[in-house]
Structure 1
Amino acid sequence: MKLNSGCAAWIRINGHLTTELNPTLEDRYAECWLAAELGESFTVHVQIPEGAVPSDISARLYVDGALCGGKIIRQASLPQARVFSGVAQANGVSERKFVFGELKTTENEEDVFGPLGYPGIDMVLGTIEVSLVPIQNLVIVGHDANTGSTPDAAPFERKVPELQLYERSKLEVTQQVKLSPPSERQVPVSWVDTQISGPEIARFEFRYRPLEVLRAKGIVPNTKGLEREPSVVILDSDPAKAQAQSSFSSGPSTIAPSAIFPQAESKDKNKNKTNDLTDPGAAEMDIDNIIDVDALSETQVQPASEATPRRIKCKKRSDRSAATSPNRAAASGRRVPRPSGFGLALEAEMIDMTDL
């Protein structure tokens, strides 16, 4: 998805650029739906063009409402692209990849609670969000990427919360993001101190669901009957005529993505279109990457053993397919404002972790 400012964010699933369904674009806010299946891995990409922002930027990633990291983008080095592939570990040389996993349910309502510390967690389950905020005063305080040493001030290892949903809540969400076993990073990391210097510049929200759920909601139509029957090949002595007479081969026809994912009409000129973004690919793996990872905040769960499940109680909510801007969402209580403050952040890749 790409805003008028030129700032863009997109997701690749299993290495492939995803189709953004029913995208809604506003001045500083964009949202869309994604089809995701269990076991698939994904990466989140952010791109900022030259002249689009007034200062250095912290691109912060929220997964299912939990803050999972961030990347620092220097204004002087624009245009730049960054990639979130997983959660960096405290040793600075390994990370755990993002994977779509199963959201477990429980029959005992008393075992369900809100691990993230605020109501409305059901509104952010099944979402991947990128927030762009201006920052200043970067000071390296953590892991030394050159020596591999980890000082006492090194940040904790981030984890996504293990959630359990009350089975009678009847939410459409059946998945949550989980983390793969640790693997070696291509670029080591360091932690730095930063300060947020202004309001949020942009936010991108991706709502992921299984394909059958998107079909049930009418976002993706049932593809049954879309495939055309092969036509008869009419032979002709003139090859040019034969080619003109035979519009299809004798084998099954190939259906274009636009036929599988047709978009409904909308009053909003930006809605119901799929975005075609140019993926910078290898350019995103610049060794000068700077990562920003927010630390503990009012919305961040305290580190806990992954073996201990965390549970939530969710109320049935209405369909969220209609677009809602951050301002309107705040007024309705839908979106919890993200805190601002100081943080820790990476050098080869710099991670910024805000600790309020």
Structure 2
Amino acid sequence: MVNYGGISCWVDIDNSAAMEYDIRTFEDQRIVTCWIASEVGKSFSVSWRNSFLPAPTAGHVFMDGNECGGRVLYGPSTVCAKHEGVTDTRTVKPFVFAPLALTDDDAFLGDSSNHRKLGCIEVAIYPVQIFGLVPVVANSSTLSEIKVHERSKKSVTQQIRLAEPRMLAVPQNAVAHRFTGPPLVTFVFKYRPLDILRASGIIPPPLPPLQLKRKPEAASLPYAEPPSEEDDLSDAEEIRVLREKLYALEAKRARKTRVKEEEENIPPNTAGWSRKKAKLSVN
């Protein structure tokens, strides 16, 4: 919703609040503008609320520049005013987005002044004095089909029409009132199709789909058959033989080390005698 001076306003499309984009406030004119995405065939309503202004207010609604009635709020409240179409005492013709009628008739080429507010939903909030309830006077607004030359439509491709009437659950009355001053604020909702708003950069493009990282696939390994009992026995035999060789090598190395140590500990004279004895024994 958009806000100004304690008054909030929004558009519901198919009973869901429309997202507003590029909201701008013009303080000197007391105007708040924004963009909403519209879709042909969908109905909509306009609602507003006075949060704390201590005076009655009236909201008057304009569709494509055509006055379409309004609602009165008696003072600040959590209750909102909802305007969903053109009403009489017992029926309502809901607002609906419709395609714009195009023509190649050059008679419509210069007829742009009458369509200056085409593509706009306006809600003007006035301070009012209330006089009481009166019978509802049928609204003369029909929102008839608008024809625009195909070369002057620009980005506007839709208009607002009235759907088939439906019965109201409770008959309505009107509130007689008069304006006591200029509009406190005017809310302007400029409606366009979603693709046009995106192409114009008003609505950001949709986010790319989330790419989930794939788990690395398990490396394919060659299949190995489980060892048989014979393989187990041959492996055990090989281990036993290797151990025996290891023990023999360690014992041999230990003997060499011991002999070397004994020779180093023999006294010099004894060593010479031993060498002589060894020589004589050979002869």
Please indicate, yes or no, whether the TM-score normalized by the shorter chain is above 0.5: yes
Distance 1:23 1:192 in 2: 32
Greater C-alpha Rg = 2
Q: Residues 136, 112 of structure 1: CA spacing in aligned structure 2 closer, same or farther, 3 A cutoff?
A: farther
Q: Which residue of 2 aligns with 1:34?
A: 36
CA drift of 1:66 comes to 0.5
**What is the aligned partner in structure 2 of residue 83 from structure 1?**
82
Is 1:46 the counterpart of 2:56? The answer is no
Q: One-letter code of the match for 2:208?
A: L
Alignment of 1:283-322 (within 5 A): none
* Larger RCO: 1 or 2 (CA < 8 Å, sep 6+): 1
The alignment status of 1:226 with 2:208, answered yes or no, reads: yes
2:68, 2:139 within 8 Å by CA — same for their partners in 1?
no
Letter of the 1:163 partner, please give it: I
Q: Are the equivalent residues in 2 in contact too, given 1:3–1:25 (CA < 8 A)?
A: no
Residue 156 of structure 1: how far off its partner (Å) = 4.4
Query: Residue type of the partner of 2:46?
Result: V
Please tell me whether residue 142 in structure 1 is matched to residue 135 in structure 2.
yes
Cα distance in 2 between the residues matched to 1:94 and 1:20: 30
Match of 1:163 among 146, 156, 160: 146
Residue matched to 2:158: 175
The question of whether the paired residues in 1 share the 8 Å contact of 2:108 and 2:148 is answered with no
Distance 1:88 1:24, change over 3 A: same
Runs of 4+ residues over 6 Å off in structure 1: none
Partner of 1:211: 194
Instruction: Indicate the structure with greater helix content.
Output: 2
Structure 1 residues 55 and 113 mapped into 2: Cα distance closer, same or farther (>3 Å)? farther
Q: 1:139 to 1:4 in 2, by over 3 A?
A: closer
1:343 maps to what in 2? none
- Ranges in structure 2 where 5+ consecutive residues have no aligned partner: 217-283
**C-alpha contact 1:49 1:80 (8 A) present in aligned 2:** no
Moved more, 56-65 or 161-170: 161-170
The structural deviation recorded for 1:122 is 3.2
- Check the 8 A contact 1:59/1:70 in 2, yes or no: yes
CA distance, structure 2, for counterparts of residue 40 and residue 156 of structure 1: 22
1:183-223 deviation per Cα after TM superposition (whole angstroms, max 9, x unaligned): 01133212343211111101111101011111121112333
Give the RMSD, CA atoms, in angstroms.
2.3
Contact 2:72 2:175 (C-alpha < 8 Å) held by counterparts = no
Question: Counterpart of 1:300?
Answer: none
Identity %: 29
CA deviation profile, 1:87-129 (whole Å, cap 9, x unmatched): 103xx01101111001101111225686xxxx73333111101
Alpha-carbon distance in structure 2 between the residues aligned to 1:111 and 1:173: 15
Unaligned runs of 5+ in 1: 144-153, 235-356
Map residues 339-350 of structure 1 onto 2, 5 A cutoff.
none
Q: Would the alpha carbon gap of residues 208 and 156 (structure 1) be closer, same or farther in structure 2, given more than 3 Å must change?
A: closer
Q: Please report how far the alpha carbon of residue 23 of structure 1 lies from its aligned counterpart in structure 2 after TM superposition.
A: 1.1
Secondary structure class of the residue paired with 2:198: helix
TM-score by length of 2: 0.69
Please show how residues 181-260 of structure 1 align to structure 2 within 5 Å.
181-223=164-206, 226-232=208-214
